[in-house]
Chains A and B, each alone.
Chain A
């Protein structure tokens, strides 16, 4: 079916894109249970997977969503970036904290959604930033009033945020009612506060009249409705000690001294508190210590690491602790029950019936580990209110550090093997931390899991966007025709070190831009004449002129901002939304630029080829801003397409969940914008059909709109898909066919012209081979050979690609795929694909099964020897550009990792 086609490949390794180190990880907290402690029967229900926030060293924060369905036990793609919050240029994220915006509006076992979350970040300076997750901007900042913020930690009730400051004070900020104000300052000590942790909250005795124990009357009046009070706070200090503050009085209750070496100060980098009051600390000597919070005495100490312990996290049940740091090991500590020996002689030794042991260590990273987080998150609750989690799902431990990848590892405890524990990653059936396989989440070069690279086919230019600048390379034409290489094996390998002029590429332009935030979007027109770049606040358009020596000279279109602003409604000067864009695309004839504004979600069609020096905005579309067609993130009005009923069966479940939230959303939007009922969305992907007629846009709520560019009209809206759309493209042979690839590696094909899902594609889409859908790296793009070898009729060959794979699919293959299989073969086929076929978008599972599946598998041809792939596209017919960024090159720029060779440690 799939004949070997010959492609020549530009294997580009010269792109010096440098991803940014992971510096912080956060999961949203769970709301506190009711004080009455009534345990609901449903408490053992599986939790939805929460948002993973990844803070990076360049100031960006990536919000990742779980790709699996609610009733799907495992998702091979795990978390994918759904939204990138572009940080201010030259900033960093040192600590991240999620809090729940309205804790009383959420059930105890519900995972808060984006609209009910607040995200705080601190990055080295004295400013604490609160992010507007919807709009992707910093909502407000507040100064710590005490120098650099070393640590930030929210209390379990999400009402207070404690900041550990340079000057040795702990500042408490109030978060109540979506505010952010200074509340008080705890007693100052003479050291930096490097880490903070809140003690377990105390349930208020509701039987008593409002008199609270410690005389924190002014606070208790504030917290009338929530019935948990915080009692104490512990901080790791830079003077080899931990300190415990009483919240009520603000006094230092106790000081816990750690070990010192050669009189140097030990830095307590991280601290955690368990529900029973046990304090865990990790310090710069590599020791992990356990302290009793009541007496503030050390209970156990482990020399667990060879170098600094930088981070720790506590397992959901509070029975395991994971620490990591400079020596790259992730060490697991387990609480073991020691049934006490009943010997009379050992009665003196009868201590606690449980104790912590250092159980396993794994090396998941090649460089320092900076952050650890676990899902479900741990809430330090007193044992009477201890949260129970379903036992059959392994918690997931996320870790990240200087080697830029986030690693997800299943972290079930070996003791909990009474029931079969599901590994949510689907890497294997084993789910204990010691033995299970971990997964490395590939970083994406651009925002929203997109690519930072763009190709101008006509001009053979390759553009790469960095934090604050762009580079453009020229890829020279192939000298000699490619050899008869079978099926896309590399024919040339232009490695950067072969600096000779015949290396096949040239760096023609380097631009450093004056930006406010890190760059978000960029594009280059097909003829290489236009380049547009945008941060979150401003779009810049450049016209490129080719100089005699081959270099390009950019010329900025000065009044482009004004042109855009003039197109906005009610153009009052101070109310204007920013001109930043989240996505760009040029039409194939390079005459029009389509941009999606960053915060407002307008789609602007700009005519560049007006003959006048100034570009002109042709039309502004507001379809993405429409709030009213969305309930619970799903389109309910204007459903179209023949398949929608099948589609919606799936969607109903989510609707119910999200219903309660929808009210809040409207309130949110009140705050930010002009008070209309429009949502703030971010358009993440755009595609223009090869004939320039159709424009498809897709936003972070997975809505897709189609516009007709000829008439400059809104054409239709697609049903909303459950997953973010990662790849969006029109098929060149039939320009009205839109291919969509979702984050969980499922495909959709839509015929724009007829406004329906074509029937010929159903067979393909209903039986995607598991080999494709269970690829660990989500699909990042799809591309087509512009002029496919016209061998046999309509061959729609699509090339999907992810970070580590390329997959060639013949889209119309399944049309003639019927017949000629017998039952036996079918059974064999079933057996072969032992993992259950993943639930399809079209809920009806294909009953035809085996023979076709086998055919499908042959249709999906995977190539995995390029990695990690940043970008794949056809530069011309039969000429493919694959941009690779080998990890070795990336890591070689890092400082050497801590390593101690040891004999016998194999």
Chain B
């Protein structure tokens, strides 16, 4: 779907209002030189240029296609599990995303159809979902309520919308209970006043709880949007933060403001009884079995309310109603979400501290899951029938975290790009640069993270967030009343052409407490672990002055790799790698200063390299100085009258014959061969960026509309070729850009290598792909589709957890975990072996060998040293093959009594096995192989074994089910340990021999 669906979230948008939108390099200057003259210049240039290809004269402001890579920010709507606990729902703007619990992937999205529903546009907060609930009668029906006042009923299994009811007033909360068939209780804005410009209802503080009967009025019986036939007002409330039924359905509780509103459902006419709390209540949860509820408030206090009994309704005027409550106080910040576990013994709470607190209700003791990553916005408890309970946390940065209830450890994380620093901190001031880079080796994107001192790695090809790199470690949470510490912000990140080096610059401005810090850090890419490791840290590369640009020298052929930095202290510094051989003969590389240059007293503002790395161009004031990087000799200074202040310069095309120099409103193209200005272009708007195509001779400037203009177009993209000053194309974008880098060629459509594509960060902090022919896989599950086909992976039974996979039944391989956070140390993975409860663990002696094996890396066989891929392949095969002996050995070890039926089955198995292996001619004998005699790669026992063994075929043809244990070894599943233990045990014996 090439259509741009960036629904700018309301929250982000409103926050962005405060921040001054800014350009890439410099804010637009207000001085406006005479237009006419410049126009003439431009014409003159055109004339100079001579004939112009008419085809490129497309000057229409065509909207450029773009696609957002980021999720809209985290929704406050509580997460919801399906009844079997295999999927969960998360509201995202106007649509509902259905995630698979097993894989963490979006399997389906329920998007309301747009055609002819309401007059309102589908975008914006006006129609975003505010609440969700599962139907108590049909567990496959989902009710959603939206701020636009629509109640939708979905069949999420088929991804179809069943019915829509229009209440015509914003809905905030929704509650259902099986006692009330065809009725739904909603908390809605009481007055149907107009929606204001932001899309928020103006009278949102004044709400009412309504009982809505889900039978349409006769008039709207056949229309797609129906009106409910009956609305009954239970009572007025403040804007409710929660609405819920008691488990028995005899009480309805709403919270809003400082009050808890309680109504008896048997006697709804009596209305609400109000109970007063000291603080603003923020969340509500009902105990699953008993008749009491819990609330969290703005001061971090959790209260359990025991007021649901008969004498509640005796009214007394003038008395502050209070109820007996139990207070649980740990949180110092607002409690954002609370939830009871299914058995009602524990209460989970979370808030801004990013700590999940587990309260044991009967003893008042508490346990913690600290540092879940971001403030907790939502907590949901999965209720699988036969598996371990899991707690699902929706974090403020739109990622999801699963916490196992048995170990209270984070089992997996489902993360998307978390970009907006407003989640944890304020957005940086407009003058700071935003890091954005592309790592060519892995074709991943280096982005700023929600925390300003971190970077994250995102793979657009798989739409996965790969890792997060904490550039400068810092505290994440500060105390409630204290002023938040200003973290150091990563301002720049550049990656060398080879992809081996990354330079980052993080800076923290000095305040009254501490001095400022500026670090230039150079990271090297670790191939093996797939992670950046810090190589060199340079403190204050340009004193405490700002660093204005960082650029790697491309084309590492001659003279080695160099890095140029410019700073406001007037220096231009060149850095290079120095290699030192240490005692052990290993080569250590680190970065040192090579040269420090100054050009008069001008402050360098930008540095760029020619594509072959032979020239360094530095923009300083009105000049562009060209240096020879080898000799650091100033080759030439370019100064043109057209461009009085140079903000950036860029070499155009592969040949780097031209140098595009941009000022605040001027663009000058120098021909370096003739050393003349080829042409000059005067923009009517401020030029905020200059980006050249990496291969072709085209380049782009971004022009920014002045702020006052209220058109939809915020940024104009003007494309040039060196041939003419007349833009070849002009496109427009509806947002401002903070940072732009060109896309690697592999992302664009193969046929159109000539087209331009960019990755950019917008002022609303989303990552967008710009370009005509951006080729990226469509996001999975972004459209609604049925869930029947995609049945989740079958859960392992307890039996399988203990004894491993059955040899007889076909077990589908468990899907790989969604996020592989690359870790340098394997201990973390090994630790997972012990993740299971003690009673589920196999005997300790069987655990020893797999544990040790996890710590000791296999020496790669000599033959497979060449290509990594092959080695990987071979290992896979090896393990697959070994899987065969697993179940059999386990049987022996446990001294299981084999009954008759099983014997028959065994015989059958072996017969089948023998037949099938004899059928595949390449392997003479399957059985001896299990003992590892012919293993090609095991510790070099048979060094002469050929790697070209046709094992994959064997695997593919014969027994797919036997691959299971091997696969689980990879994931370090404890259940797989018996088989691997058996294997290593044997191997060990052999080596002793």
Q: What mask results when residues 247 to 265 of chain B are scored 1 for a CB within 8 Å of chain A, else 0?
A: 1101000000000000000
Q: Which residues of A contact B247 (CB under 8 A)?
A: 341, 343, 346
B398 at the interface (CB under 8 A from A): no
In the complex the two chains form, is A358's CB within 8 Å of B364's CB? yes
Q: Distance (Å) between the CB of A782 and the closest chain B CB?
A: 41
Distance of B822 from chain A, by nearest CB (Å): 34
B324 touches A413 (CB 8 A): yes
Of all chain A residues, which has the CB nearest B344? A349
Q: How far is the CA of A231 from the CA of B311 in the complex (A)?
A: 34
- Asked if residues A905 and B329 are in contact (CB atoms below 8 Å), the reply is yes
A567 within 8 A of B: no
A108-144 CB contacts (< 8 Å) to partner B:
none
Task: Say yes or no: A302 contacts B309, CB within 8 Å.
Answer: no
List which B301-339 residues lie within 8 A (CB) of chain A: 304, 306-311, 314, 316, 318-327, 329-332
Pair B332/A903 contact, Cβ less than 8 Å: yes
Q: Answer whether residue A295 sits at the interface, using C-beta atoms and an 8 A cutoff.
A: no
A103 CB to nearest chain B CB (Å): 34
Contact partner, B307, options A300, A302, A415, A904, Cβ 8 Å: A415
Q: Which A residues are in CB contact (< 8 Å) with B304? A: 357
Tell me which residues from 304 to 334 in chain A have a Cβ below 8 Å from any Cβ of chain B. Answer: 304, 334
Q: Does A435 contact B (CB under 8 A)?
A: yes
B246 lies within 8 A of A904 (CB): no
Q: What is the number of contacts between chain A and chain B, taking CB atoms within 8 Å?
A: 100
Residues A340 and B291 in contact in the complex (CB < 8 Å), given A418-B311, A903-B332: yes
> When the two chains form their complex, are residues B362 and A300 in contact, meaning their CB atoms are under 8 A apart?
yes
Collect the chain A residues with CB atoms within 8 Å of residue B364's CB: 302-304, 358
Does B834 have its Cβ within 8 Å of any Cβ on chain A? no
| A862-906 with Cβ < 8 A to chain B | 903-906
A669 an interface residue at 8 Å Cβ cutoff? no
User: Which residues of B sit under 8 angstroms from A339, Cβ to Cβ?
Assistant: 250, 291, 308-310
Complex Cα gap A343–B286 (Å) = 15
Q: Does A574 make an interface contact (CB < 8 A)?
A: no
Contacts of A341 in B (CB 8 A): 246-248, 250, 289-291
Give CA–CA (A360, B327) in the complex, Å: 7
Q: Are A904's CB and B331's CB within 8 A?
A: yes
By the criterion CB–CB under 8 Å, are A342 and B248 in contact?
yes
The interface bits of chain B over 763-792 (1 if a CB of A lies within 8 angstroms of the residue's CB, else 0) are 000000000000000000000000000000
Assembly CA distance A432 to B319 (angstroms): 11
- Whether a CB of chain A sits under 8 angstroms from the CB of B292 is yes
Query: Which A residues lie within 8 Å of B248 (CB)?
Result: 340-343, 346
Do the beta carbons of B320 and A346 come within 8 Å of each other? no
Q: Are B292 and A338 interface neighbours, CB within 8 A?
A: yes
How many Å lie between the Cα of A359 and that of B327 in the bound state? 7
CB of B859 closer than 8 Å to a CB of A = no
The answer to whether B332 and A904 have CB atoms under 8 Å apart is: yes
**B290 nearest CB neighbor, chain A only:** A338
Say yes or no: is B363 at the interface (Cβ < 8 Å to chain A): yes
Cα A413 to Cα B250 in complex, Å, equals 24
Shortest beta-carbon distance, A299 to chain B, in Å? 11
Q: Is B365 an interface residue (CB 8 A)?
A: yes
The residue in chain B whose Cβ has the minimal distance to the Cβ of A361 is B327
Instruction: Give min CB distance, A904 to chain B, whole Å.
Output: 4
Decide if B663 is an interface residue (CB 8 Å cutoff). no
Chain A: interface residue total (CB-CB under 8 A): 36
Q: Is B987 interfacial (CB-CB < 8 Å)?
A: no
Within 8 A of B (CB), among A405-439: 413-415, 417-420, 430, 432, 434-435
Q: What residues of chain A lie closer than 8 Å to B326, measured between beta carbons?
A: 357-359
Q: How far is the CB of A71 from chain B (nearest CB, A)?
A: 23
Q: A183 contacts the other chain (Cβ, under 8 Å)? A: no
* Residues from chain B with Cβ under 8 Å of A415 in the complex: 307, 311, 323-324
- CB pair B324 A346 closer than 8 Å: no
Q: Are B306 and A334 in contact (CB under 8 A)?
A: yes
Q: Is B541 an interface residue (CB 8 A)?
A: no
Contact between B319 and A420 (Cβ–Cβ < 8 Å)?
yes
Give every chain A residue within 8 A of B246 (Cβ-Cβ): 341
Pair B365/A303 contact, Cβ less than 8 Å: yes
B309 in contact with A337 (CB, 8 Å): yes
Chain A 604-636 near chain B by CB (<8 Å), digits 1 or 0: 000000000000000000000000000000000
Complex: A342 Cα to B329 Cα, angstroms? 31
Is A336's beta carbon under 8 Å from chain B?
yes
Bound CA–CA A420/B316 (angstroms): 8
Write the nearest CB–CB distance from A223 to chain B, whole angstroms.
Answer: 38
Decide if A301 is an interface residue (CB 8 Å cutoff). yes
Across the interface, do B363 and A303 meet the contact criterion of CB distance under 8 Å?
A: yes
- Interface of B: prevailing SS: loop
In the bound complex, how far is the Cα of B297 from the Cα of A906, in angstroms?
A: 14
B9 proximal to A (CB < 8 A): no
* Shortest Cβ distance from residue B701 to the other chain A in the assembled complex, whole angstroms: 52
Q: Does B299 contact A (CB under 8 A)?
A: yes
* Complex Cα–Cα for A302 and B311 (A): 26
Task: Give Cα A413 to B310, complex, Å.
Answer: 16
**Contact B289 A417, beta carbon cutoff 8 Å:** no
**A414 and B299 contacting across the interface, CB-CB below 8 Å:** no
CB distance from A302 to the nearest CB of B (A): 6
Q: Chain A residue with minimal CB distance to B292?
A: A338
Expressed in whole angstroms, the minimum distance between the Cβ of A388 and any Cβ of chain B is 15
The answer, yes or no, to whether B300 is at the interface (CB within 8 Å) is yes
CB of B687, distance to nearest CB on chain A (Å): 51
CB distance from B368 to the nearest CB of A (A): 12
Write the nearest CB–CB distance from B313 to chain A, whole angstroms. Answer: 10
| A487-510 interface (Cβ within 8 A of B) | none
* Alpha-carbon separation in the docked complex, A534 to B306 (Å): 57
Closest Cβ of chain B to A675, distance in Å, is 57
Chain B residues positioned under 8 Å from A301 (CB to CB): 362-363
Chain A residues whose C-beta falls within 8 Å of the C-beta of B329 in the assembled complex: 904-906
Q: How far is the CB of A651 from chain B (nearest CB, A)?
A: 36
Chain B residue numbers with a CB within 8 Å of A340 are 248, 291
Chain A: CB-nearest residue to B306: A336
Minimum CB distance partner of A413 in chain B? B324
Do B332 and A417 touch across chains, with their CB atoms under 8 A apart?
no
| Alpha-carbon distance between A902 and B560 when the two chains are bound, in angstroms | 57
Q: Among B307, B310, B319, B324, which residue has the most Cβ atoms of chain A within 10 A?
A: B324
By beta carbon, the residue of chain B nearest A346 is B289
**Is there an interface contact between B330 and A904, defined as CB atoms closer than 8 Å?**
yes
CA distance A301 to B311 in the complex (A): 27
CB contact list, B273-300 vs A, under 8 A: 289-292, 299-300
A-side contacts of B321, CB under 8 Å: 417
Residues of the A chain whose Cβ atoms lie less than 8 Å from the Cβ of B292 = 336, 338
**B365 neighbours in A (Cβ, 8 Å):** 303
Which chain B residues border A343 with CB–CB below 8 Å?
247-248, 289
Q: From the candidates A357, A903, A905, name the one contacting B306 in the complex (CB within 8 A).
A: A357
Please, which residues of chain A bring their CB within 8 A of the CB of B322?
A: 414, 417, 432, 434-435
* B309 pairs with A338, CB closer than 8 A: yes
Q: How far is the CB of B966 from chain A (nearest CB, A)?
A: 42
A420 to B304, CA, bound (A): 24
Q: Which of B715-734 contact A (CB under 8 A)?
A: none
User: In whole Å, how far is A834's beta carbon from the nearest beta carbon of chain B?
Assistant: 15
Chain A residue nearest in CB terms to B323? A414
**Which residues does chain A contribute within 8 Å of B330, judged by CB atoms?**
904-905
Closest to A432 in B: B322
Q: Which residues of chain A have C-beta atoms less than 8 A from B289's C-beta? A: 341, 343, 346, 349
Once A341-B247, A341-B290 are accepted as A-B contacts, the answer to whether A418 and B316 lie under 8 Å apart by CB is yes
How far in angstroms is the closest Cβ of chain B from A492?
41
Q: Which residues of B contact A (CB under 8 A)?
A: 246-248, 250, 289-292, 299-300, 304, 306-311, 314, 316, 318-327, 329-332, 362-365
The 10 closest A-B pairs by CB, nearest first: A341-B248, A336-B306, A414-B322, A904-B332, A334-B324, A337-B309, A346-B289, A418-B314, A359-B324, A417-B319
Sample (7) of A-B pairs whose CB atoms are under 8 Å apart? A338-B306, A339-B308, A342-B250, A357-B326, A360-B327, A434-B322, A904-B329
Q: A337-B306, A359-B327, A360-B327 are in contact. List 11 more A-B contacts (CB 8 A).
A: A302-B364, A304-B364, A336-B324, A339-B308, A341-B250, A341-B291, A343-B248, A349-B290, A415-B307, A420-B316, A905-B329
